[in-house]
């Protein structure tokens, strides 16, 4: 048993950073060493009960006994709790591996730690006693000794993220706010890696939610989201990512994906890789993943697929798909309200930076195959098209074929000014002929109604397109002007009605 001798008033070598003496430390102990802490070091709880999370350090062994007894009964039943094996568990759990005796200053500890302040000043019997016994797990010993060192010297010898995180958790447990701030400041100064980011995200929930720790968690999420924003490119590497990393990616608005369909397919593949058991996979979807997938921005075809996906509980997906369709049917200002409300709870109504713009599609089967496609473009998205870019919509289906809309900014070769173009395109690999009747409409700011700009019939084969250059018949500057007739609250509302006239 290691002790601090009252005659020398020096903390044992592990506390004073390798035995070095410090003037401030000597002064504190010379004048204020009035308490003796007995650190009883037990086996790590995880070694005794692998399925039970660690509990807080306790100065009341009775509460600890009660909790462990409940755990044993839960796992083994009341009858099993009296068996010799369970008795061995009790012996393992409460066997003291070693004891460290520390002479400390109650004034110094209470000044740095709310835990010790309450312990030494609660007016109860233990606050008047010289000896205090604390039980800790073996893995907590080194971090707690570093923490005690910090309370006297305001510095730490640890420099690696794993060691600093252990001290951070000890500081959280003993409510040493200044040490928590110190650890976070040092951790934020260390270049982030995938490994360190995952360590930060896998901190215990109560530590992650502390205000002082939030900047570290935000930085870790941002690092992973930036590194892996192209989830298609990094898909194989991401299959080994733990769930904390996957949730960090799903929380990001900046993923570089074609549509939310890609996100769902990625999560499904990851879940099947990590959780081969269907029951486990369904549970992890329900409890951890499903609310980070932004169903309102999936295509209608993918939403149909989700409803038949056996990996996810149908009761859960039915409601989410219904909510997604409800959102798609809402007017833009209501969508903005819903997005704002969800911003702090999974962000499922918040739009990501998709490569292809989401569309709303209303389909009819009678009297003939017919659909109405709505595409909304923000003013800034249109501005980014200048001088020669384009933006495409998500795919939609009609007559068994895949189509998409494509908006461009191009130079009008006749008038030599830039203008807005809009085209309806059929995918190249779709080879059959289909005759489509079409109408291109835009919503007018003056009437708030859709007005027709162009209409006609067109025979599509794979890779062909129909549309109009200078769609509005005005220069780009007039189209983008503040008094433009075509932007309503910063949104350009386009509508395309399509009917199948003939198919071969």
Digit-coded pLDDT (tens) for 42-51? 988 766 665 5
Residue 33: both structure tokens together:
């060493």
pLDDT bin (cut points 50, 70, 90) of residue 11 is very low
pLDDT bin (cut points 50, 70, 90) of residue 413 is confident
Residue 79: both structure tokens together:
């009858």
- pLDDT tens, residue by residue, 163-214: 999 999 999 999 999 999 999 999 999 999 999 999 999 999 999 999 999 9
Work out the average pLDDT over 65-77: 39
In angstroms and rounded to an integer, the radius of gyration of the C-alpha atoms of the chain is 32
Residue 251: both structure tokens together:
């929380």
The residue among 39, 15, 11, 13 whose CA lies nearest residue 27 is 11
- pLDDT tens, residue by residue, 212-259: 999 999 999 999 999 999 999 999 999 999 999 999 999 999 999 999
- pLDDT higher than threshold 60 for residue 9: no
pLDDT reported for residue 90: 52
Contact at 8 Å (CB) between 182 and 159? no
DSSP state of 191: P
pLDDT bin (cut points 50, 70, 90) of residue 96 is confident
pLDDT reported for residue 4: 35
The residue among 490, 389, 384, 387 whose CA lies nearest residue 443 is 490
DSSP state of 292: G
Work out the average pLDDT over 11-18: 35
3-state SS, residue 336: helix
Report strand pairing: 396-398 vs 360-364: unpaired
Q: What sign results for the dihedral spanned by CA atoms 439, 440, 443, 447?
A: negative
Of all residues in the chain, what percent carry a pLDDT higher than 70?
82
- pLDDT higher than threshold 50 for residue 68: no
Residue 96: both structure tokens together:
């003291």
Contact at 8 Å (CB) between 254 and 225? yes
Q: What sign results for the dihedral spanned by CA atoms 160, 57, 112, 33?
A: negative
Contact at 8 Å (CB) between 305 and 274? no
pLDDT bin (cut points 50, 70, 90) of residue 366 is confident
pLDDT bin (cut points 50, 70, 90) of residue 443 is very high
Q: What sign results for the dihedral spanned by CA atoms 344, 349, 351, 354?
A: positive
pLDDT reported for residue 498: 97
Q: Tell me the CA distances in angstroms from 426 to 398, 406, 430, 458, 492, one per residue in order.
A: 10, 11, 7, 11, 23
Q: Tell me the CA distances in angstroms from 37 to 9, 26, 128, one per residue in order.
A: 14, 18, 13
pLDDT reported for residue 32: 62
Beta bridge partners of 37: 102, 132
pLDDT bin (cut points 50, 70, 90) of residue 482 is very high
Work out the average pLDDT over 354-378: 90
More confident residue, 46 or 155: 155
Contact at 8 Å (CB) between 313 and 299? no
- pLDDT higher than threshold 70 for residue 428: yes
Q: Which domains does the chain have, with CATH numbers?
A: 2-43+95-156 (3.30.710), 258-342 (no CATH), 356-503 (2.60.210.10)
Contact at 8 Å (CB) between 297 and 319? no
The stretches of 4-105 forming alpha helices (DSSP H) are 23-32, 45-48, 61-80, 84-94
pLDDT bin (cut points 50, 70, 90) of residue 414 is confident
The residue among 428, 421, 417 whose CA lies nearest residue 467 is 421
- 187: preceding bond cis by omega (within 30 degrees): no
**What's the whole-number average pLDDT of the chain?**
84
Work out the average pLDDT over 379-386: 95
- pLDDT higher than threshold 60 for residue 386: yes
pLDDT reported for residue 21: 35
3-state SS, residue 19: coil
More confident residue, 432 or 262: 262
Q: Tell me the CA distances in angstroms from 207 to 55, 157, 217, 456, 473, one per residue in order.
A: 13, 22, 10, 63, 60
Residue 59 burial (CB count, 10 A): 13
- Where is 374: in which H helix or E strand? strand 370-378
Top-confidence range, 61-65, 78-82, 403-407: 403-407
Residue at token pair 């549509």: 259
pLDDT reported for residue 91: 53
The alpha carbon of residue 126 and the mean position of all alpha carbons in its chain are separated, in whole angstroms, by: 44
pLDDT reported for residue 151: 93
- How far is the C-alpha of 311 from the C-alpha of 293, rounded, in Å? 14
pLDDT bin (cut points 50, 70, 90) of residue 430 is low
The residue among 296, 298, 236 whose CA lies nearest residue 269 is 236
DSSP state of 58: B
- Where is 105: in which H helix or E strand? strand 96-105
The alpha carbon of residue 208 and the mean position of all alpha carbons in its chain are separated, in whole angstroms, by: 13
Between 16-30, 360-374, 413-427, the lowest mean confidence (pLDDT) is in 16-30
- pLDDT tens, residue by residue, 101-111: 998 988 899 99
pLDDT bin (cut points 50, 70, 90) of residue 124 is low
Contact at 8 Å (CB) between 93 and 79? no
Burial code of 320-349, b = ≥16 C-beta within 10 A, e = fewer?
bbeebeebbeeeeeebeebbeebeeebbbb
Residue 48 burial (CB count, 10 A): 20
- How far is the C-alpha of 96 from the C-alpha of 119, rounded, in Å? 23
Contacts of 291 (CB under 8 A, 6+ apart): 345, 346, 348
The residue among 344, 277, 278, 350 whose CA lies nearest residue 309 is 278
Taking the whole predicted model, whether its pTM rises above 0.85 is answered as no
Q: What sign results for the dihedral spanned by CA atoms 202, 204, 205, 206?
A: negative
- How far is the C-alpha of 398 from the C-alpha of 434, rounded, in Å? 10
């Amino acid at each position: 048993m290691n002790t601090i001798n009252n005659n020398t008033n020096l903390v044992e070598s592990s506390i004073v950073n390798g035995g070095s003496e410090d003037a401030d430390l000597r002064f504190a102990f010379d004048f204020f060493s009035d308490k003796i802490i007995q650190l009883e070091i037990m086996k790590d709880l995880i070694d005794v009960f692998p399925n039970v999370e660690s509990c807080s350090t306790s100065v009341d062994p009775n509460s600890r006994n009660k909790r462990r007894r409940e755990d044993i009964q839960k796992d083994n039943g009341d009858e099993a709790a009296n068996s010799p094996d369970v008795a061995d568990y009790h012996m393992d759990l409460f066997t003291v591996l070693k004891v460290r005796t520390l002479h400390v200053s109650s004034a110094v500890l209470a000044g740095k730690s709310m835990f010790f302040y309450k312990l030494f000043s609660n007016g109860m019997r233990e606050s008047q006693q010289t000896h205090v016994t604390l039980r800790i797990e073996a893995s907590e010993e080194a971090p707690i000794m570093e923490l005690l060192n910090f309370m006297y010297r305001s510095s730490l010898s640890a420099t690696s993220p794993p060691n600093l995180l252990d001290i951070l958790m000890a500081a959280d447990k003993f409510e040493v706010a200044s040490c928590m701030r110190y650890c976070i400041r040092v951790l934020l100064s260390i270049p982030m890696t995938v490994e360190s980011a995952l360590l930060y995200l896998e901190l215990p929930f109560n530590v992650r939610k502390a205000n002082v720790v939030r900047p570290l968690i935000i930085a870790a999420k941002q690092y992973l989201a930036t590194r892996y924003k192209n989830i298609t490119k990094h898909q194989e590497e991401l299959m080994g990512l733990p769930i904390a990393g996957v949730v960090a990616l799903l929380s990001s608005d900046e993923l570089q994906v074609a549509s939310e369909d890609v996100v769902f397919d990625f999560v499904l593949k990851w879940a099947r890789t990590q959780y081969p058991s269907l029951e486990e996979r369904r549970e992890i979807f329900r409890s951890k993943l499903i609310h980070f997938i932004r169903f309102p921005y999936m295509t209608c075809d993918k939403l149909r697929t989700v409803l038949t996906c056996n990996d996810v509980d149908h009761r859960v997906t039915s409601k989410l798909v219904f909510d997604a369709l409800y959102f798609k049917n809402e007017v833009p200002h209501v969508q903005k309200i819903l997005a704002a409300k969800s911003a702090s709870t999974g962000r499922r109504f918040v739009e990501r930076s998709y490569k292809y713009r989401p569309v709303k599609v209303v389909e009819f089967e009678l009297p003939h195959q017919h659909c109405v496609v709505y595409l909304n473009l923000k003013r800034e998205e249109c501005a980014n098209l200048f001088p020669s870019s384009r933006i495409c919509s998500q795919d939609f289906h009609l007559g068994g074929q895949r189509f998409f809309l494509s908006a461009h900014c191009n130079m009008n070769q006749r008038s030599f000014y830039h203008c807005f173009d809009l085209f309806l395109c059929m995918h190249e690999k779709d080879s059959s002929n289909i005759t489509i009747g079409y109408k291109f409409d835009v919503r007018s700011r003056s009437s708030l109604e859709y007005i027709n700009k162009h209409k006609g019939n067109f025979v599509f084969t794979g890779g062909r397109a129909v549309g109009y250059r200078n769609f509005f018949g005005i220069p780009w500057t007039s189209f983008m002007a503040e008094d433009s007739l075509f932007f309503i609250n910063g949104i350009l509302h386009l509508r395309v009605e399509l009917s199948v006239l003939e198919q071969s």
